[in-house]
Structure 1
Amino acid sequence: MTHDPALDAHEHAEHAEHAAHAGDPFISQVSITVAILAVLAASVGSLETVEEGRAITASAEAVLRQDEATDAWNEYQADSLKKHVYGIAADAGGPRAAKYAATAKDQVAKQDEIRKRAQEDEADRDKLMKESALHEHRHHWLTGGATLIEIGIAICTVAIITRRRSFWRGSILLAVVGLALFGAAYLA
């Protein structure tokens, strides 16, 4: 079963509208609270989904950068072997010794470029992993915030059924704590 914050918000608003027709001012206040909380829950839930997607995307990009760095280091090692082979061939002497020595020297310059590329890929990977962790951190805080607001909506329903203000106040308190978690997601 999938969770759709927008659909949940719509359903809660409809229930609140039906309860508001009862004519009781308290019921009307609680119904308005339900509608407001439903909008807040949908908003926080949507941001939660966005942060989750960003975390996954940044993590996937980090894996790609790691693959590119690994490929570059493999190329670096292969060129290192070539450099040594040409160096041995140059040391052996013969008519092509100068050419082998030049090729070995060229491999050193090529290796420097490859090392730089590999290190840049690793730096990008590290940056993307930190970005992914930040989005994941926000996702967790937003999950808590949306959950508390949704619990507040459920408690509002209890307040409507029992006509007890303490439940209504409790639901508002939960929503305030949920909004504090929302704020913590972007401040922490």
Structure 2
Amino acid sequence: MNESPTEPFEHAEHAQHVAHSGDSFLSIVSISIAILAVLAATVGSLETLETAKAFGEKNAAVLLQSKASDGWAFYQAKSVKQNLYALAAEQGGKPEYADKARRYDTEQKEIEKQAREYESQSHEALEASEKHEHRHHILTVAVTLLHVAIAIATISIIIRGRRWPWHGALLLGAAGTVGAIFAYI
């Protein structure tokens, strides 16, 4: 959500104006709006953090997969060299050809191990990215519910203290708060 960093202050200012009206119910509504605004700002910040973490993990996964691909290309190059030296040794070539073939075979095993490790790390980073992305989606719904709750609670002030919009706003605010908590369970 792209919201103004001063939005909670604006809600608090509106609450202060209503508090001077002398109606205690409207004061309670305005306080609840301020609380909902703080919750919305907090959940919105958490949503932004989860988005950043999802992108960061996905980027890490791509880089690790690239390293794995590079490793497999290097593995194939060593394999070609190992096969050429083994073939040359079998055809009666220089004695050091067999030594080079064994050396390349040993190097291939290390390269294969490293490439598999990069693939594993890439997979783990993708799983972490998906977890953060899932949290982001839940937090998006939660912050939306909190914003809608603020708007509906404001209706209660506009229509001079009718309680049903405020009760609905409290239910939506509670649902948004529970949703935000659920994102981390």
TM-score of the aligned structures, taking structure 2 as reference length: 0.96
Is 1:115 aligned to 2:112, yes or no? yes
Instruction: Pick the aligned partner of 2:182 from 178, 181, 184.
Output: 184
Percent identity of equivalent pairs: 46
2:172 to 171, 174, 178: 174
**2:112 counterpart of 1:145:** no
In structure 2, the residue matched to 1:84 is 83
2:53 aligned partner: 54
Quote the Cα distance in structure 2 between the aligned partners of 1:81 and 1:30.
76
Write the distance in 2 (CA, Å) between the matches of 1:122 and 1:133: 17
Q: Secondary structure at the match of 1:117?
A: helix
Note if contact 1:48-1:142 (Cα within 8 Å) is conserved in structure 2. Answer: yes
Give the SS at the match of 2:184: helix
Separation (CA, whole Å) in 1 of partners of 2:184 and 2:113: 35
- Amino acid across the alignment from 1:44: V
Could you give the per-residue CA deviations for residues 53-78 of structure 1, whole angstroms, max 9, x where no partner exists? 00000000000000000000000001
CA distance in 1, matches of 2:151, 2:61: 40
RMSD: 1.1
**For 1:108 and 1:10, how far apart are their aligned partners in 2?**
68
SS in 1 for 2:183: helix
Structure 2 gaps, min length 5: none
Paired residue for 1:102, among 80, 99, 122?
99
**Structure 1 residue matching 2:22: 3-state secondary structure:** coil
CA distance in 2, matches of 1:6, 1:179: 20
Contact 1:5 1:42 in 2 (8 A): no
Q: Give, as a single letter, the amino acid of the residue that structure 1 aligns with 2:79.
A: S
